[in-house]
């Protein structure tokens, strides 16, 4: 830890890495952090933290920070440092010219799950009210958009159902497509605490993650499924539960649509969904699958936790709905210890989705075509809104290549490194007349930008984040913004440069506007958060103090909805040329594309992405641990070292995506979730060959 002296003051704020949302006391000396101390009263972490939140703040003062706005006429020219006024004038002039020549639909914006609720809200307001289009999307598109779709369809609300404490009342914990030890470490510790007390664990994951067997914790069942077969496995579990008479019919009759349940029960009962019939597809031994299904249905309170291994598939939304079906058919909803819980990757994925970052939804998940909702915002904002949904990010890139989409404002998101099929992203960005990147560092996307607006870290701003358990928590300014402005101020300046007249003096005023226009935030305010520490939405007349557990007396949508989710194999097939399946994930010490953690000395102990391969596959290729390999798919090729391990099954390889040198997304494909276009990062047919290195 870098020690810079005795602290002079401290500020309590919220970690900006993962969706756990740990609270810290930042101890300061001048404008330097002395240390980050996990806050004992933090509701999400209760005094605990992981290596990232505790130590990985060095990026805030890193020499790579850009602190001056920059512009250039075209991307083959060098950057020119300019004043804020000049950068905003340059941006506004081009935005207005593009709008005049090509119309509002040629413009768009991307919000960030790393930024605060207030900043995200302002970006979507800028796009809708300032640009005049609904072409706004968010990085949740490429991670948890199927959660939004799937949970809203089944339960009526696009959010996890439980607070973190709920896990302590679970008797059976089902973890599917998530690796909490690396992705959500503080919550993983609480889960392990419950497991050590005797709760049973079922893990559904192609990889033998740490939870399957670690000190004092061992899964009762690990179902190492073939990547891409989540729906088949969940349907087979439902088949066992229904055909063996284990469904909780009292719960279903009371809380769900009985006719829909019967249709669904007939579907899953079909013999083609028996575990034995699906074994060739899922590669899960049917006896293990039957035992896991019986345990979940009969073992007491059953809770489900899932991550991107569920959502980032061509059937991501179907898988979320299959999980919801499983919770409802077993009556595991509406009390502590049960429920469906998406483990959100970034600190504010839940908040970015809540704040209207999708092209079809205004804040609070209300459809843009709903006249009453639109009228509410039009009156408050003093504009007329487009009633039609806008473009998703992949459609913006497609439209750019086709010449219809010309300008984008990207706040806090490195789409070139994080989105699939890098070549496609580069082609879209290259075709635009104006790319504005608003970020901390000159990231990979900035190579295609005309304007760079320096961003502020979470330590340099006020606002709120909403964690994976719907907990709205204050983010408090610890130090002055390195470039002079907090991100919400920059968005306000840009809006005013194109003709708006926004006068927010503090994020609390933006939060007041959000509360005024969003029923689930009605009782939230900066002063109330200061007083109580945090609130779990909905916070309104019905739930004045928030709701740790949702759907206690009834589903938000009325009756719970069973949805038939038929397994459809992905179009991404292995074959002689690409015989292996690649799946991706992350490790404890690094975070997403690594822009922050790679610039922090204390987490530099994972210096490169590695390709995990089973010993049999390695031996067949003459490869040994540490050898360089060429990883090829039909979309691209990259080079990385191999790690030989039986954590992955034969035929499956696995890597992380933290380092730009690897650019793992060069090989991922354009396939995506049928409902939301969330990319299919988790299934790519690849070949691995020996290499002499990059």
Instruction: Taking the CA atoms of 526, 530, 531 and 533 in sequence, report the sign of the dihedral they define.
Output: positive
Segment contacting ligand SF4 by CB under 6 A, of 46-54, 97-105, 139-147, 554-562: 46-54
- Does 17 bind ligand SF4 (CB under 6 A)? Our answer is yes
Nearer to ligand SF4, 50 or 104 (CB): 50
* Extended beta strands in 380-441, E state: 407-411, 434-439
H helices present in 64-184, as ranges: 84-102, 117-125, 145-155, 180-183
In this structure, the strands spanning 463-466 and 471-475 are antiparallel
Nearer to ligand SF4, 114 or 221 (CB): 114
- Does 18 bind ligand SF4 (CB under 6 A)? Our answer is yes
H helices present in 299-348, as ranges: 308-311, 316-329
* Distance from C-alpha of 406 to C-alpha of 31, rounded to nearest angstrom: 40
Tell which residue, 186, 298, 206, 278, has the closest CA to residue 236.
278
- Does 15 bind ligand SF4 (CB under 6 A)? Our answer is yes
Q: Closest separation between CB of residue 114 and ligand SF4, Å?
A: 12
- Does 231 bind ligand SF4 (CB under 6 A)? Our answer is no
Which residue among 21, 150, 227, 412 contacts ligand SF4 (CB under 6 A)?
A: 21
Residues 411-450 that bind ligand SF4 (CB under 6 A): none
Q: Closest separation between CB of residue 185 and ligand SF4, Å?
A: 5
- Does 20 bind ligand SF4 (CB under 6 A)? Our answer is yes
Q: What angle do CA 217, 218, 221 make, to 5 degrees?
A: 145
- Does 45 bind ligand SF4 (CB under 6 A)? Our answer is yes
- Does 147 bind ligand SF4 (CB under 6 A)? Our answer is no
Nearer to ligand SF4, 186 or 268 (CB): 186
Q: Closest separation between CB of residue 127 and ligand SF4, Å?
A: 29
- Does 42 bind ligand SF4 (CB under 6 A)? Our answer is no
In this structure, the strands spanning 213-214 and 136-138 are unpaired
Nearer to ligand SF4, 102 or 476 (CB): 476
Which residue among 25, 35, 52, 194 contacts ligand SF4 (CB under 6 A)?
A: 52
Q: Closest separation between CB of residue 48 and ligand SF4, Å?
A: 8
Helix (H) or strand (E) holding 110: strand 107-111
Which residue among 13, 49, 311, 656 contacts ligand SF4 (CB under 6 A)?
A: 49
Which residue among 43, 53, 482, 680 contacts ligand SF4 (CB under 6 A)?
A: 53
Q: Got the DSSP string for 356-396?
A: T-STTEETTTEETT-HHHHHHHHHHHTS----S----HHHH
Residue nearest to ligand SF4 (CB): 53
- Does 185 bind ligand SF4 (CB under 6 A)? Our answer is yes
* Extended beta strands in 15-56, E state: 23-29, 32-38
Q: Decide: 452 and 66 in contact? Cβ < 8 Å.
A: yes
Segment contacting ligand SF4 by CB under 6 A, of 45-53, 107-115, 305-313, 644-652: 45-53
* Distance from C-alpha of 414 to C-alpha of 452, rounded to nearest angstrom: 13
Is-cis flag, bond preceding 494, omega within 30? no
Nearer to ligand SF4, 314 or 467 (CB): 467
- Enumerate binding residues for ligand SF4 (CB under 6 A): 15, 17-18, 20-22, 45, 49-50, 52-53, 184-186
């Amino acid at each position: 830890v870098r020690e810079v002296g005795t602290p002079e003051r401290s500020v309590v704020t919220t970690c900006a890495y993962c969706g756990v949302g740990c609270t810290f006391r930042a101890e300061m000396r001048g404008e330097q952090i002395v240390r980050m101390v996990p806050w004992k009263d933090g509701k999400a972490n209760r005094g605990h933290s992981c290596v990232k939140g505790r130590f990985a703040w060095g990026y805030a003062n890193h020499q790579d920070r850009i602190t001056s706005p920059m512009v250039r006429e075209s991307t083959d020219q060098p950057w020119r440092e300019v004043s804020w006024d000049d950068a905003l004038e340059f941006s506004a002039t081009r935005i207005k010219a593009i709008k005049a020549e090509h119309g509002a639909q040629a413009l768009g914006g991307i919000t960030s799950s790393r930024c605060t609720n207030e900043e995200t809200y302002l970006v979507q307001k800028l796009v809708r009210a300032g640009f005049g289009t609904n072409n706004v999307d968010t990085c949740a598109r490429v991670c948890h958009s199927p959660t939004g779709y799937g949970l809203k369809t089944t339960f009526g609300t696009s959010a996890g159902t439980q607070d973190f404490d709920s896990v302590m009342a679970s008797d059976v914990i089902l973890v599917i497509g998530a690796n909490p030890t690396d992705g959500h470490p503080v919550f993983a510790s609480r889960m392990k605490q419950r497991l050590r007390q005797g709760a049973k664990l079922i893990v559904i994951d192609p990889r033998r993650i740490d939870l399957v067997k670690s000190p004092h914790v061992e899964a009762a069942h690990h179902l190492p499924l073939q990547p891409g077969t989540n729906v088949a496995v969940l349907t087979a579990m439902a088949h066992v539960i229904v055909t063996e008479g284990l469904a909780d019919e009292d719960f279903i009759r009371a809380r769900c649509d009985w006719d829909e349940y019967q249709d669904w029960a007939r579907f899953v009962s079909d013999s083609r969904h028996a575990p034995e019939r699906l074994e060739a597809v899922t590669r899960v031994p049917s006896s293990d699958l039957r035992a896991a299904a019986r345990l979940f249905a009969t073992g007491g309170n059953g809770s489900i936790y899932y991550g991107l291994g569920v959502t980032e598939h061509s059937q991501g939304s179907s898988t979320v709905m299959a999980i919801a079906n499983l919770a409802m058919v077993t009556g595991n909803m509406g009390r502590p210890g049960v429920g469906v819980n998406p483990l959100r990757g970034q600190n504010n994925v839940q908040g970015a989705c809540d704040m209207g970052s999708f092209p079809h939804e205004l804040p609070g998940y209300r459809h843009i075509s709903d006249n009453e909702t639109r009228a509410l915002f039009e009156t408050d904002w003093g504009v007329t809104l487009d009633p039609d949904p806008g473009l998703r990010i992949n459609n913006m890139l497609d439209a750019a290549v086709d010449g219809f989409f010309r300008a984008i404002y990207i706040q806090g998101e490195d789409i070139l490194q994080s989105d699939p099929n890098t070549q496609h992203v580069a082609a879209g960005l290259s075709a635009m007349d104006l790319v504005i990147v608003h970020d901390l560092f000159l990231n990979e996307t900035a190579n295609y930008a005309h304007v760079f607006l320096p961003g502020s870290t979470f330590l340099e701003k006020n606002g709120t984040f909403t964690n994976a358990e719907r907990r709205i928590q204050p983010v408090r300014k610890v130090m002055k913004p390195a470039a002079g402005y907090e991100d919400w101020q920059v968005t306000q300046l840009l809006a005013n440069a194109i003709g708006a007249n926004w006068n927010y003096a503090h994020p609390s005023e933006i939060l007041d506007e959000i509360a005024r226009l969003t029923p689930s935030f009605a009782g939230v305010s900066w002063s109330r958060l200061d007083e109580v520490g945090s609130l779990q939405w909905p916070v309104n007349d019905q739930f004045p103090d928030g709701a740790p557990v949702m759907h206690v007396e009834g589903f938000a949508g009325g009756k719970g909805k069973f949805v038939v989710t038929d397994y459809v194999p992905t179009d991404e097939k292995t074959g002689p040329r690409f015989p292996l399946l690649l799946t991706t994930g992350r490790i404890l010490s690094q975070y997403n594309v690594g822009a922050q953690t790679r610039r922090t000395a204390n987490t530099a102990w994972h210096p490169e992405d590695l390709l995990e391969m089973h010993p049999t596959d390695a031996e067949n290729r003459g490869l040994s641990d540490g050898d360089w390999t060429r990883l090829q798919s039909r979309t691209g090729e990259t080079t990385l070292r191999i790690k030989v391990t039986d954590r992955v099954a034969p035929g499956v390889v696995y890597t992380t995506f933290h380092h730009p040198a690897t650019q793992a997304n060069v090989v991922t494909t354009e396939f995506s979730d049928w409902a939301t276009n969330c990319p299919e990062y988790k299934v790519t047919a690849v070949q691995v060959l020996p290499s002499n290195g990059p």
